[in-house]
Amino acid sequence: MAVTIAFFGGVWKPFSNFYDAVVKWKGPSGRVFVFPRTENGYQAFKSLNDDDWMPFAIGYYDTEEGIYHKCEQAPYWAVAAKKAGKKLNIRPDWELVDVQFMLDLNRQKYDHPALKKLLLSSKDAIIQEGNYWHDTRWGICNGKCFKGPHKPEGKNFLGLVLMQVRDEKNAEVGKKKDGESDEQ
């Protein structure tokens, strides 16, 4: 029977989107934004206007000028980013693209060597974003939340994303062991 990682605490804390790990994304204007963590990038992407992305980012590269600009204010902390994301003018296709954004952000996050090593160390464990705040889309609510006692429930999209990224990273490692280069 496979082991289940049911909470992102302790050694597994980096699995959380609130964990600091720089990721980048090219906005609609062509600027490449630098976010301090996946939660900030995910929340910013809710808007099609990348001017709205500024408070979520550390800075951005202006591809026309070829210059990096540091944002004037410090980026939102993860909890504040999550709250601010709810106030954005949400793009009309958001529910069609949000899981793909999360997947792409986590692919970048786990390119960081230490984080990749940690993810791969989970081997074939089932990864669940277990929670007590009743997030049944990205995780699995443990049933001990504000809604009162109930059976654990949830779609666990974040856990599924992490397991997919783990499978992809394992495949990359396998190719390198077989002598294939990164260019293939």
Q: Give the model's pLDDT for residue 1.
A: 67
Q: Which pLDDT value is given to residue 184?
A: 45
| Structural domain spans, the chain | 1-19+112-184, 22-91
CA 150/CA 180 separation, integer angstroms? 49
Q: Are 43 and 78 in contact (CB under 8 A)?
A: no
Q: Can you list the alpha helix ranges (DSSP code H) found in the chain? A: 38-44, 78-85, 94-109, 113-121, 157-177
Q: Which residue has the higher pLDDT, 67 or 178?
A: 67
3-state class (DSSP) for residue 141: strand
Q: What is the pLDDT of residues 122-169, one digit of tens each?
A: 999 999 999 999 999 999 999 998 999 999 999 999 999 999 999 999
Q: What is the mean pLDDT of residues 112-117?
A: 98
Give dist(CA 125, CA 123) in Å, integer: 6
pLDDT one-digit tens code per residue, 66-89? 999 999 888 999 999 999 999 999
